[in-house]
Amino acid sequence: MLRFTLKRLGWALLTLWMVITLTFVLMHSIPGNPFAKEGKMPPGVFENLMRYYHLDEPLYVQYGLYLKSLLQFDFGPSIKSSTLTVNDYIREGFPVSLHLGLQALIIGVTLGIIFGVFAALYHNRYPDYLSMVLAIIGLSVPNFILATVFINYVAVEWGLLPPAQWGTWKHTILPSLALAAMPMAFTARLMRSSMLEVLSQDYVKTAKAKGIAKSMVILKHTIRNAILPIVTVLGVIATNLVTGSFVIEHIFGIPGMGEMFVKGIFNRDYPVILGSTVFYSAVLIFLTFVIDVLYTWIDPRIKVTGGE
């Protein structure tokens, strides 16, 4: 187990380093700079700014400087804000995105599993069609439309909830619902097919044949086994959710990480781009690892000692 973990960690660090390097190259090869604007920018002022943020150094020097500060867990300053560093951005933005993402994840996955189980048990009958249609509707309306519709009707026309911003639990409802639609639909469909597969397994048939109550069969034998594929994809879903959705955060004016990331890219705020990429990748790698461990815990057949 320890050897496996160490090996995984080694690969993870290598992957992370490659992601950083590639991102560094990419972001410096797209046109633009953090100070570009439509108005005046006399060369003298521009040079002062470039010097202030060490952007006048050769790229390999900047790269070295960045890796060095990264080793000290310092993501550097934000160029667009003289009050916030990238660490501040992450420290203030991530809890918000995490809160929103987890809320959406719990809503989405729970509903998804329920729908999926229901659909599988009534395979090719109306409850199946109904839950799949519901799930697909969740999957098929782009979330920017969903968010806009929610704000317009639920918040403004009916006055039930605040339209935007972040603060009380009331503010979290509409964005998490808009965000939950996708994972819900995704989980429902996956759960359905996985359930169908498990239901046709011999041990389920045996259990049924032995006369065990149907509900017991479903609970003990089917769901537990059918949930495995969901756990595998949960890592990717969770990373996408907890690192923030730009669209949802932008529309609802939520101070999370998704908006920061995308704005960082559009503003060419280099430290913000790199910082959020590193953070995103670290979360992804970490979650993949957690999922692997979870997997062995749920499914005793799999032993992690095998390595890659």
Partner 1 sequence: MQHEPQLTAELFQPVADNSMETEKIVRPSISYWADVWRRLKMNKLAMVGLFLIVGLVVMAIIGPMISGYTYHGIDFKAKNLRWSAEHWFGTDTSGRDLFTRAWYGARISLFIGVMAALIDFVIGVIYGGISGFKGGRVDNIMMRIAEVLYGVPYLLMVILLMVVMGQGLWTIIIAMTLTGWIPMARLVRGQVLQLKEQEYVQAALALGASTGWILRKHIIPNTMGPILVNITLTVPTAIFAEATLSFLGLGVPAPQASWGTMANDALVSLLVGNTYQLFIPGFLISLAMFAFNVFGDGLRDALDPRMRK
Partner 2 sequence: MKKSISVLLSLSLAGLLALTGCSGDTGSNTAQNNNGGQTATNGGSTDSSSSGPKILRVNNSSEPGSLHPAKAQGTHESWPLRHLFVGLTEVVEGNKIEPAMAEKWDISPDGKTYTFHLRDGIKWSNGDPVTAADFEFAWKYALNPNTASDYAYQLYYIEGAEAYNTSKEKDPAKLKALEDKVGVKALDDKTLQVKLTNPTAYFLELAGFYTYFPVNKKVQEQNPNWANDASTFVSNGPFKLTEWKHKEGLKMVKNENYFDKDKIKIDEIDWAMIEDENTAWQMYRSGDLDLAYPLPTDVIGQLKSSNSPELHIDPEYATYFYRFNTTKKPFNNVKVRKALAMAIDRQAIVDNVTQAGQKPAYGLVALGSVDENGNEFHQTDYFKEDVAQAKQLLAEGLKEEGLTSMPKFKILYNTLDAHKKIAEAIQSMWRDNLGIECELENAEFQVKIDREHKLDYDISRAGWIGDFMDPMTFMDMFTSLSTQNDTGWKNKEYDALVEKAKQSNDQKVRMQAMRDAEKLFMDEMPVMPIYFYTKPYAVKPYVKGVYALATEYPTLKYADIQK
Q: Which of 254, 251, 103 is nearest to 184 (CA)?
A: 103
Indicate which of partner 2, partner 1, none lies near residue 102 (CB less than 5 to 8 Å, by partner kind): partner 2
Note whether 295 binds partner 1 by CB under 8 A.
Answer: no
Indicate which of partner 2, partner 1, none lies near residue 262 (CB less than 5 to 8 Å, by partner kind): partner 1
**Contact characters 88-117, partner 2, x per CB under 8 A:** x-xxxxxxx-xx--x--xx--xx--x----
Choice from 173, 204, 262, 287 touching partner 1 (CB under 8 A): 262
Choice from 2, 58, 60, 82 touching partner 2 (CB under 8 A): 82
Q: Cβ distance 178 to 147 under 8 Å? A: yes
C-beta neighbour count of 213 within 10 angstroms: 11
Triad 122, 128, 129: Cα angle to 5°: 150
Taking the least distance from each CB to partner 2, the nearer of 208 and 220 is: 220
Note whether 9 binds partner 1 by CB under 8 A.
Answer: no
Q: Cβ distance 9 to 307 under 8 Å? A: no
Note whether 51 binds partner 2 by CB under 8 A.
Answer: yes
Q: Cβ distance 67 to 278 under 8 Å? A: no
Applying the rule CB under 8 A, the residues between 60 and 99 that interact with partner 1 are none
Question: Which conformational region is residue 32 in: left (phi greater than 0), alpha (psi within -120 to 50 degrees), or beta?
Answer: left
CB of 115 to partner 2, least distance (A): 13
Q: Cβ distance 181 to 141 under 8 Å? A: yes
Note whether 149 binds partner 1 by CB under 8 A.
Answer: yes
